[in-house]
Structure 1
Amino acid sequence: MGELSNNTEEKVLLVGCKLFETSEERFRYSMEELASLTKTAGGKVISTVFQNRHSFDRATYIGKGKIEEIIPLVEELEIDVVIFNDELSSSQVRNLNSQISARIIDRTQLILDIFSRRAKSKEGKLQVELAQLNYLLPRLVGQGHSLSRLGGGIGTRGPGETQLETDRRHIRRRMDEIKEQLKTIVKHRTLYRERRKENRTLQVALVGYTNAGKSTLHNRLTKADALEEDLLFATLDPLTRRLKLPSGFQVLLTDTVGFIQDLPTTLVAAFRSTLEEVCEADFLLHVVDCSSDDYYNHEQTVLSLLDELNVKDVPILTVYNKRDNMTSNFIPSEGIKSIIISALQEKDLEKLLKKLEEEIIVTLQYFEAKIHVSEGKLIAKCSSSAIIEKQTWLEDEESYFLSGYVSPDTSIYKQLQEFKV
């Protein structure tokens, strides 16, 4: 399915169902996020409809009266797509399709659609296809009616119509193929990571809610050229660059896919290998957008997803970003290490690098060594692979006295032991 051209924005009607147990605030943020996701997918929100209920209608998600309200609205406003704020079952989609003339998609399909547009690497594309097939498999029954309407647009990218119309066996076979290909890619990445670990470059991963400013921060710190957009899920493929700290010590900084509330489990599973970069990190920078009214929920969502990924005992520095637009109700969380910055301010970036170095020092081993001038290679290596606190030239001995911090897992640590004072 081809992508929409920029000038053919599809007209979208958003539909949400607020259960009585859900707070007004959480529901509002969820609907605002759905609107942002729609914008990212190239749609234009024309109108929004929502209903308060004790539980979702098993047959049609919303009640009969609401559907009767939507039918003329779709005609009047010439709506192309109706997007529902929760995941719909195949029978709900079928029943809604039989009454509403516009294309029906749900939140999961919308996210998959964005992933389909954004993924650039081979791994990213395979992960998306796997997630889409995973989503489609239980929904194959009753796809016929909606397939007859597919003509490109939001919710239709990725596996084409012919793939959807083939039987379950074919889709399962394709899923197995993708899993094998992903295993190979993950294997290669694991080997690459092990090589990095042998040379023991410290790994720092940027994590955070989607659109918190991770890519902007990554670019400003490493002078890289990752995609920077004010859109949800702008980054899907992990990007790693070298980062020099104030002392000259070098680390690897990885930008990762953004986290999101109520991320469908099929997506967490499909993107687990992309998020492995997070699991392997020595240090995490948790970026939180303090200009968002919903910053606290975003922060908690990321922490609970890290928990799901079993990321434990990894030091975290919380970076409250976008301080220039900070919301009036912002209060930093207590009991955590944090810093408030704007990724666009050079002085703030310097402050962040200094703070990051201080936090990394805590995880390293202190050393003192006297190294003869003939060991030039080792002296040079110390400046990038260790944090040097003091360096003194001892003229009588033609040696350098060095003191500082180094990771005990590195080869340089073993070498420095020979020159220990």
Structure 2
Amino acid sequence: MTETYQTIPTRERVIIGGLSHGKASFEYTMTELTELARADNLEVIDRVTQNLDRVDAATYFGSGKVNEIKELAQGLDVGTIIINDELSPSQLANLEKRTGLHFIDRTELILEIFADRAHTREAKAQVEIARLQYALPRIHPSANTLDQQRGGGGLMNRGAGETKSELNRRTIRKRISDLKQQLAAMTKTEQTKRERRRNSALPQVALVGYTNAGKSTTLNQLLEVFSGVAGSKKQVFEKNMLFATLDTSVREIQLPTNQRFLMSDTVGFVSDLPHNLIESFKTTLAEAAQADLLIQVVDYSDPNYREMMVTTAQTLQEIGISDIPMIYAFNKADLKGDTKFPELDGHDITYSAKDPDSIKLLAKLITSIIFADYKTVNLLLPFDRAKDVAELEASANVHQKDYTETGTQLNVTLSPQQLKEYAAFQVDPVQP
């Protein structure tokens, strides 16, 4: 009998470092950097910080700190340093030349995580565009930035595989141009799908917020509580890690009242999300931009949750999402001691996505907003309007259907747009 052994990949050990810039949020961003490293299968074993208001133009850190990093890395037998800011090409080259170590900045780390998490053609194209735009100014004759892929663990063996002669600025610019054309075609297809959902007359709700705040769990629990086994089969991927998925998922939620709405689970945010990545993912986040209601899911158990809310607000503003009603959903209340839940405070809810009562209260809050302008009426549609009857049964909440001598009578809840469209077929006043 042959015995088999399962080997567990060894995580590369790294050191993180950063400048405080005099910011009160510095410790928060360093903690976040540690979590980002873990998400990329790296083990943070030490950290180096310096209290400088201004970045050294040549080496980021001051000269003495650079020497300290070199000695620390040698003593700990570490070859990779992750920096909490984006390094300029010259800073990167100077640091590596002076220390003999590999340096990865925050932007490159996030791009690497996104490269691992992208599964759809659209997400893969978006990430590759962002990575190429990041790499373009960092290519020089003596180095192959894309093929080097500094570090090991989560950063090993991810190079594009091109030779040095192929890795020139003209080749990369051509590749970026080709990818943008491909992405434009994919975006057109996705836009068609979004327009179809918009025309369905179902309200659209988008979950937004910091990565790993519980957006996917919230969507999955709504499906499970209100759709049972059928809903469980439609659940989206969830995992307790940063950027578990980059793909926007859209699911239909049907409540016991027969009210239905579409809910999308969008990519999560993080501090200092690379600008190129935000630009690339504007198409993915279009679900949020076209939503009737946003639900900002917040990890209420995290001591830095307020900073996370600021990050979300800044990112939404940067991608042009504004003037959409928002629910602030303070999740993971079960992990925050002495916190009463579920509880409403206006359009805020304190809840646990794993608690059925919380999910029901959240659904009640959602419906009170998105269906506020909906009204239930009686329509009498002539028999030659059978197509309209079928469309209403597919897109609206039909509570009752009866056949009369002159046509089909429906008791149906309609959106403001549908109320105008079918005003001529109303046969009695709006029902309470």
User: Secondary structure of the equivalent of 1:349?
Assistant: helix
Cα deviation, residue 256, structure 1: 0.5
Q: CA distance change for structure 1 residues 250 and 402 in 2, over 3 Å: closer, same or farther? A: same
Answering whether residue 277 of structure 2 is matched by residue 275 of structure 1, we say no
Match of 2:95 in 1: 96
Match of 1:37 in 2: 36
Cα deviation, residue 201, structure 1: 2.7
Q: CA distance change for structure 1 residues 17 and 163 in 2, over 3 Å: closer, same or farther? A: farther
Match of 1:242 in 2: 252
Match of 1:19 in 2: 21
- Counterpart Cα distance in 2 of 1:288 and 1:160: 36
- Counterpart Cα distance in 1 of 2:8 and 2:312: 32
Whether contact under 8 Å (2:11, 2:154) holds in the other structure is no
Structure 1's consecutive aligned runs of 4 or more residues displaced over 3 angstroms after TM superposition are: 145-159, 327-330, 370-388, 390-404
Q: CA distance change for structure 1 residues 415 and 27 in 2, over 3 Å: closer, same or farther? A: same
Q: CA distance change for structure 1 residues 195 and 73 in 2, over 3 Å: closer, same or farther? A: same
Cα deviation, residue 152, structure 1: 5.2
Answering whether residue 186 of structure 2 is matched by residue 176 of structure 1, we say no
The aligned length equals 408
Judge which range, 26-35 or 373-382, deviates more: 373-382
* Aligned residue identity for 1:18: S
Of 338, 351, 359 in structure 1, the residue corresponding to residue 369 of structure 2 is 359
Q: CA offsets per residue over residues 214-268 of structure 1, 9 Å max, x none?
A: 1111112223332211111112011111111331122111110001122121111
Whether contact under 8 Å (1:17, 1:53) holds in the other structure is yes
Q: CA distance change for structure 1 residues 326 and 383 in 2, over 3 Å: closer, same or farther? A: farther
Whether contact under 8 Å (2:12, 2:152) holds in the other structure is no
Whether contact under 8 Å (1:132, 1:159) holds in the other structure is no
Q: CA distance change for structure 1 residues 325 and 143 in 2, over 3 Å: closer, same or farther? A: farther
- Counterpart Cα distance in 1 of 2:270 and 2:115: 17
Answering whether residue 401 of structure 2 is matched by residue 402 of structure 1, we say no
Judge which range, 241-250 or 50-59, deviates more: 241-250
Q: CA offsets per residue over residues 334-383 of structure 1, 9 Å max, x none?
A: 99621111110111111111111111122x34242154898999778767
Q: Give 1:87-236 correspondences, 5 Å limit.
A: 87-141=86-140, 144=143, 153-155=153-155, 158-162=158-162, 166-222=167-223, 223=232, 224-236=234-246
Q: CA distance change for structure 1 residues 143 and 134 in 2, over 3 Å: closer, same or farther? A: farther
Q: CA distance change for structure 1 residues 336 and 168 in 2, over 3 Å: closer, same or farther? A: farther
User: Secondary structure of the equivalent of 1:44?
Assistant: strand
Match of 1:368 in 2: 377
Cα deviation, residue 326, structure 1: 2.4
Of 298, 302, 309 in structure 2, the residue corresponding to residue 299 of structure 1 is 309
Whether contact under 8 Å (1:210, 1:233) holds in the other structure is yes
* Aligned residue identity for 1:160: A
Of 327, 340, 346 in structure 1, the residue corresponding to residue 350 of structure 2 is 340
Q: CA distance change for structure 1 residues 204 and 273 in 2, over 3 Å: closer, same or farther? A: same
- Counterpart Cα distance in 2 of 1:245 and 1:164: 58
User: Secondary structure of the equivalent of 1:228?
Assistant: coil
- Counterpart Cα distance in 1 of 2:289 and 2:210: 17
Answering whether residue 322 of structure 2 is matched by residue 320 of structure 1, we say no
Q: CA offsets per residue over residues 147-195 of structure 1, 9 Å max, x none?
A: 6685754445655252676110000000000000000000011112222
Of 309, 319, 322 in structure 2, the residue corresponding to residue 309 of structure 1 is 319
Cα deviation, residue 141, structure 1: 2.4
Q: CA distance change for structure 1 residues 244 and 95 in 2, over 3 Å: closer, same or farther? A: same
* Aligned residue identity for 2:281: F
Whether contact under 8 Å (2:149, 2:158) holds in the other structure is no
- Counterpart Cα distance in 2 of 1:225 and 1:196: 19
- Counterpart Cα distance in 1 of 2:141 and 2:263: 46
Answering whether residue 8 of structure 2 is matched by residue 9 of structure 1, we say no
* Aligned residue identity for 2:322: K
Cα deviation, residue 208, structure 1: 0.7
Whether contact under 8 Å (1:18, 1:52) holds in the other structure is yes
Whether contact under 8 Å (2:39, 2:242) holds in the other structure is yes
TM-score normalised per structure 2: 0.85
Whether contact under 8 Å (1:140, 1:164) holds in the other structure is no
Judge which range, 312-321 or 160-169, deviates more: 160-169
Structure 1 residue runs of 5 or longer lacking an equivalent are: none
- Counterpart Cα distance in 2 of 1:285 and 1:41: 28
User: Secondary structure of the equivalent of 2:375?
Assistant: strand
Whether contact under 8 Å (1:85, 1:107) holds in the other structure is yes
Match of 2:49 in 1: 50
Whether contact under 8 Å (2:377, 2:411) holds in the other structure is yes
User: Secondary structure of the equivalent of 1:307?
Assistant: helix
Match of 2:67 in 1: 68
Cα deviation, residue 297, structure 1: 1.6
Q: CA offsets per residue over residues 64-99 of structure 1, 9 Å max, x none?
A: 111111112212212132100000011111111112
User: Secondary structure of the equivalent of 2:50?
Assistant: strand
Whether contact under 8 Å (2:379, 2:425) holds in the other structure is no
Whether contact under 8 Å (2:219, 2:263) holds in the other structure is yes
- Counterpart Cα distance in 2 of 1:47 and 1:402: 66
Q: CA distance change for structure 1 residues 275 and 145 in 2, over 3 Å: closer, same or farther? A: closer
- Counterpart Cα distance in 2 of 1:286 and 1:341: 13
Q: CA distance change for structure 1 residues 275 and 8 in 2, over 3 Å: closer, same or farther? A: same
